[in-house]
Structure 1
Amino acid sequence: MSLQKTKAQLIQLLDDPDYKVIALSGLWGTGKTHLWEEIKQQSANASVSNALYVSLFGVSSMDQVLNKLIQSAARDGKIDSLVSKTAKSTFKGLESFHKGFATINELCQLLAVSMLLRKKIVVIDDIERMHEKLSIDEILGFIDDYSKNREVRFVLILNSNKLTKRDQWSTLHEKVIDLELQLVTTPAEAFSIAIQSLPSAYASSLKRACVICKLTNIRIIKKVIKTTNRIFGQSYREDELPRKMIPSVVLLTAIHHRGLENGPTKELTLSWKPQHSDFLKLFPDTNHWKDLVNQLGIYITDDFEHHVIAFLQTGHFDPNLFESIITKNVAEHARHSAIERVEEVREALYWDHRLDSNQARTRVDEVLASDQSIPPDIYNGLVKIVRDTPCIENMAQLLIDRWIDLYKQNPQPYSSGSGLEPAIIEAIEHFNAQRRENTAASFAEQLIQFAQAPDHQRYNSVVYLNLCNTGVEYYESAIRDMPIKGLQGVLPYMLDAYNQSQRDNSTIEAVAQRLIAACRNLYRTHASEGLGRLLKRQFAYVGLDIEHMPQPSVTTNATAGEPEH
């Protein structure tokens, strides 16, 4: 029975004096005690609002139970003058007189409790968590005695599934308890209770993920909320976070605190790539919780999930690390959202024949308001539809101008393919030309650095690996535009390496291969110019004929790759 239905039922039972012993049972952390406290605070029934409460967690004797009840009454100001006088003066007098009056002292304690509890409602919580020295027989015997002989009514709060002696409970349950209400809190109800004491800016996403994970333990949900608030703080809007981030925190926190029944392990979650054959080999039995992870929107995991697990396991929190990861994910999410928006608007303009001109203009304005650069092929499709749509065709140029402005702010190495708007092609080609110039200049600096490095450092560097995996055309650009001092270092290195290979009858070094191939190509196109004459002199100086020497066997096009910089 859900929380609200159970609450209504329990209120009715409390108002009916024929029900002397009521049991409220349910799983740990599902809000049983919270439900009772809520009823007590809201009740107009004096017997309910003045009820006494005792938890048996760790209690090992009936004396402790009775003392806790007296303390509960004193704490709530419910000890009347007669009980107070009897409890205080008699206990103190007898104890100071002689230790042998301990038994009489106990009798006085029972007398005080008997007077205190008469016609009261007593709530006994955590019965399944009492100490093993205190037996269920003693508790239920006490309940049976006081309910029959002293008009005391009881509400027992417990997780009956965790009682160690189920047979005793079943027998005494039939003899003592009038009715047992089973509380089955829904995930939504459990979350509503948890969020009251722990507000979060991400409540909507948290609730959705907790409901999908079927979390009903309020203590676990509070841990989930605390973890989420710690990681994200108050810096982000809920809608700007990627869809998987908060669900990932919910899932991993629930797994870590063992709050997810039959759920995936954290190892499985961190490796989650269900389309990869290697993943399926490692974890073949994934169907049990595959739907859960898919509903949460976690289609792949990355560094974020690894750092969440590390935080949960060690307690060490690095705010700068999480901020950098989240900021990167937020930026990527914003870009994907902008692309989706362009595609949605294009589809609406194409298919929704009910759109009037104002509605169409509003949809295009959504795209114009975006600050994200969109791939030109996707954007170009929208431009074409807008140009073909009456009443908003003039907005096509606004879209083109907006794309170019955003592209200039954040240029990308797009291809200026056919079918794009001429203005968009011009912007892309202008950037690509600048990029090639900058890349060539950067590559030339790497080449000079490599040639001037000591022999013992030259071949054990990242620069060397980059040079070995770069196409010959970049070597050509570097030699063509290299300053004089750079040429004075690079060309002698190249020729020395070539001659060394000839003397040792070995394969010429990879960078020197590319340099010679580049020089041969440049000489063929610049033979009568200054660069061609310089290259011919340099080769002749070491006895080589640049025109007729064998061409090194290397890749001479861009498939060898662009230089990294």
Structure 2
Amino acid sequence: MMSFEKTKISLIKALKLKNTHVLTLHGPWGTGKTHLWREIKAELEERKEASTTYLSCMTYNSISLLKSATMTALLSQSTGIARYGEKAGKLVVGLLNTKLPKEMQITVGFSDIQPLLPLIKKSIPSPSLVVFDDIERATDLDVGDLLGFVNFLVEELDQQVLLIMNREKLSEKAGERWQQIREKVVSLEIELLASSDEYVAIGLGDINNDHFNLFKEKIELLKIKNIRAIQHMRRVYDAVSAEEIFTPSQWMELIPSIVIFVAIHTNSIPDAAEVKRTIHKGAFFDPDEEQTEEQARAHALVQNYKLGTVDSFETEILLPYLQSGHLNVATAQSYAKHMDMRAKRNGAESTAHENLMKFYWDPNIQKAQLEALITATKPHLDFLSAGTATKLANAANEAGNTKLAQEIIYDWISKNEAAIKSAAENPSYLDERDDFIELHDNIKSVIEFRHTTIHKALSVPEAIHSITSSNTTGSRQLAPFKTTTPSSIEHILRSADHVAFREIFRFFARRLNGRSSDQHFGTASNHFIEACQNIIKLDSEGRLTELIRRLAKASNVASQIGIS
């Protein structure tokens, strides 16, 4: 038998015990105390064992209002009437008058009728159970006053009372008062016990079995035992599902994000704010960076959870929905298409990789089968990367089928306009990286042509600024240095403003100080030296010469330029 069910049975049995007038059901927030009460209420009413009156204490800011609401609900058996607050007393009087003979009807307020209540016990259903919930949330109510009223209901009206609360969240003052009085008033205290399986089952309800199991796995990984948080996850799931955008298999990628971000949003995991920061940071920490205990816990949780990289689903769909309640349907539809394309690309890449592995390493494949393996990938070229297409073409060439190799490259270029455009628009794509250098010559030519068309050549000052500001040294940045001359460098120094001059001089000074490990700029650095020497020679007392002397000495390159 499940723990939740055991608690339910224990509470039902306790309600039937003689001389058990006041019971408490206690447990942490979100563990299902109110949910359990609703189940018990339904059973009691179905078997007609007791009439029930339920009130949430946090709705009332004074004991007098709670008393009025309680009596109104008892006499009317309608908690809806109790919401009228300050009018509750008048309603009670009116209800009493309907049950009293004309000569006994009263016209005074609720505070004046309490002595008469024992006379009208017969007007209140019996047996009857009054339930006070959220006691720890009712910060304006004095626990002593509440328990005094509970005692009145028991002693004067023969009511049975159930108090539902989180004892750990009582204020310090209320907690002390509770400990002082509870033994005199409370007959039995029952702790809500529930397993993680029950929390998940109650919170999620009936959903797709695969989705339920993934929700359960991730919820248990985070050790969440808060039914309200889990119910919130289900509401997010339902809200997105209602739009019928994502396929069942796509949901398997989205559910882990829903679980952890709802847990953060509802503060249902320890260090929630730090976990959120860690996720957005990418969970990467410098090993030498000193971490607080909170950061270390958050880092360990995120690493163990294996969420992956945060993308537009979290930043543009999930988080905005949690914060505003508005679902961006258009963005969700776009993301679903992106997921579909990503799945097709991953599938095509996996198939191509498997076929290439067989081509190169399977000793049992015949020559005719080798070409068939490569040919089988052609229908999927629009989902393959340029690198994979190159490998397939190389394999076709090794099999002696140059025509097939040419067809693969031609078809890839014709089917992947978006990929070519994206590569060409990236300013640093042509940097000397292995993944570009190893591409098929025809693919490289197409990308290089588009890239040159989009991105104008850099001047030396522009290249220097790009290198120093972004720490990027690619073929585009290196190109202008290959055509420098002493006179062109001299012209640059003479025409530069104060910001550019300082940046250019410091750039070349670093090259001169580390020339042995900076071979890309060797010739240009020599031209820089000649340009400086020529400026000093032509105008030894000029302002520009003065700046060169000062900066050269400060940068430790005076001897290389020939400055004593």
SS at match of 2:303: helix
**What pairs up with 1:370-519 in 2 under 5 angstroms?**
372-374=348-350, 376-382=352-358, 388=364, 399-407=373-381, 410=384, 412-414=386-388, 415-416=390-391, 422=399, 428=408, 432=440, 434-439=442-447, 441-442=449-450, 445=453, 468-469=476-477, 501=488
Name the residue aligned to 2:160: 153
| Residue 109 of structure 1, CA deviation | 5.2
**Is the Cα contact below 8 Å between 2:129 and 2:161 reproduced in 1?**
yes
Using the alignment, how far apart are the partners of 2:154 and 2:115 within structure 1? 19
Name the residue aligned to 1:271: 281
**Is the Cα contact below 8 Å between 2:49 and 2:127 reproduced in 1?**
no
Instruction: Flag the 1:377–1:410 CA change in 2: closer, same or farther, 3 A.
Output: closer
**What pairs up with 1:531-542 in 2 under 5 angstroms?**
none
Identity among equivalent positions (%) equals 20
Structure with greater proportional helix content: 2
Using the alignment, how far apart are the partners of 1:10 and 1:318 within structure 2? 45
Equivalent in 227, 245, 269 of residue 235 of structure 1: 245
| Residue 182 of structure 1, CA deviation | 0.6
| Residue 24 of structure 1, CA deviation | 0.8
Using the alignment, how far apart are the partners of 1:201 and 1:377 within structure 2? 29
Using the alignment, how far apart are the partners of 2:387 and 2:352 within structure 1? 11
Which amino acid is 1:438 matched to?
V
Name the residue aligned to 1:520: none
| Residue 177 of structure 1, CA deviation | 1.9
**Is the Cα contact below 8 Å between 1:22 and 1:181 reproduced in 2?**
yes
Say if 2:131 is the partner of 1:119.
no
Using the alignment, how far apart are the partners of 2:106 and 2:323 within structure 1? 54
Name the residue aligned to 1:143: 150
Once the two structures are superposed, residues 402-457 of structure 1 have per-residue CA deviations (whole angstroms, 9 ceiling, x without a partner) of: 2122126656233438777625756555554542453465367559x879xxxxx9
| Residue 379 of structure 1, CA deviation | 2.7
Name the residue aligned to 2:305: 296
Name the residue aligned to 1:129: 137
Instruction: Flag the 1:41–1:183 CA change in 2: closer, same or farther, 3 A.
Output: same
Name the residue aligned to 1:71: 73
* TM-score in terms of structure 2 length: 0.61
Which amino acid is 2:391 matched to?
S
SS at match of 1:51: strand
| Residue 314 of structure 1, CA deviation | 5.8
Instruction: Flag the 1:55–1:272 CA change in 2: closer, same or farther, 3 A.
Output: same
Once the two structures are superposed, residues 168-221 of structure 1 have per-residue CA deviations (whole angstroms, 9 ceiling, x without a partner) of: 222332222222111134443233333349999954433332222222323322
Name the residue aligned to 2:3: 2
**Is the Cα contact below 8 Å between 2:57 and 2:138 reproduced in 1?**
yes
Instruction: Flag the 1:410–1:18 CA change in 2: closer, same or farther, 3 A.
Output: same
**Is the Cα contact below 8 Å between 1:20 and 1:154 reproduced in 2?**
yes
SS at match of 2:391: coil
Using the alignment, how far apart are the partners of 1:152 and 1:87 within structure 2? 21
**What pairs up with 1:79-90 in 2 under 5 angstroms?**
86-88=96-98
Name the residue aligned to 1:162: 169
Using the alignment, how far apart are the partners of 1:434 and 1:116 within structure 2? 91
Name the residue aligned to 1:16: 17
Using the alignment, how far apart are the partners of 2:69 and 2:121 within structure 1? 9
| Residue 116 of structure 1, CA deviation | 0.9
| Residue 395 of structure 1, CA deviation | 7.5
* TM-score in terms of structure 1 length: 0.61
Name the residue aligned to 2:28: 27
Using the alignment, how far apart are the partners of 1:10 and 1:102 within structure 2? 33
Using the alignment, how far apart are the partners of 1:49 and 1:312 within structure 2? 41
Say if 2:258 is the partner of 1:249.
yes
**Is the Cα contact below 8 Å between 1:25 and 1:180 reproduced in 2?**
yes
Q: Which stretches in structure 2 are left out of the alignment for 5+ residues?
A: 82-92, 413-439, 467-472, 495-521, 525-564
Report the RMSD for the aligned CA atoms in angstroms: 5.0
Once the two structures are superposed, residues 14-51 of structure 1 have per-residue CA deviations (whole angstroms, 9 ceiling, x without a partner) of: 33334332211112222111111112213477454522
Once the two structures are superposed, residues 240-264 of structure 1 have per-residue CA deviations (whole angstroms, 9 ceiling, x without a partner) of: 3574x43233222322332223444
**Is the Cα contact below 8 Å between 1:30 and 1:190 reproduced in 2?**
yes
Using the alignment, how far apart are the partners of 2:41 and 2:369 within structure 1? 64
Instruction: Flag the 1:413–1:119 CA change in 2: closer, same or farther, 3 A.
Output: closer
**Is the Cα contact below 8 Å between 1:387 and 1:396 reproduced in 2?**
no
Using the alignment, how far apart are the partners of 1:210 and 1:400 within structure 2? 44
Using the alignment, how far apart are the partners of 2:277 and 2:443 within structure 1? 43
Using the alignment, how far apart are the partners of 1:125 and 1:45 within structure 2? 22
Using the alignment, how far apart are the partners of 1:91 and 1:159 within structure 2? 44
**Is the Cα contact below 8 Å between 1:198 and 1:226 reproduced in 2?**
no
SS at match of 1:171: helix
Instruction: Flag the 1:439–1:196 CA change in 2: closer, same or farther, 3 A.
Output: closer
**Is the Cα contact below 8 Å between 2:283 and 2:303 reproduced in 1?**
no
Using the alignment, how far apart are the partners of 1:75 and 1:198 within structure 2? 36
Instruction: Flag the 1:111–1:191 CA change in 2: closer, same or farther, 3 A.
Output: farther
Using the alignment, how far apart are the partners of 2:336 and 2:182 within structure 1? 54
Which amino acid is 1:403 matched to?
T
Which amino acid is 1:190 matched to?
Y
**Is the Cα contact below 8 Å between 1:90 and 1:108 reproduced in 2?**
no
Using the alignment, how far apart are the partners of 2:490 and 2:218 within structure 1? 71
Using the alignment, how far apart are the partners of 1:178 and 1:135 within structure 2? 20
Q: Aligned pair count?
A: 438
Instruction: Flag the 1:56–1:93 CA change in 2: closer, same or farther, 3 A.
Output: farther
Using the alignment, how far apart are the partners of 2:67 and 2:207 within structure 1? 33
Say if 2:180 is the partner of 1:178.
no
Instruction: Flag the 1:458–1:266 CA change in 2: closer, same or farther, 3 A.
Output: closer
Which amino acid is 2:303 matched to?
N
**Is the Cα contact below 8 Å between 1:123 and 1:157 reproduced in 2?**
yes
**Is the Cα contact below 8 Å between 2:58 and 2:138 reproduced in 1?**
yes
Name the residue aligned to 1:510: none
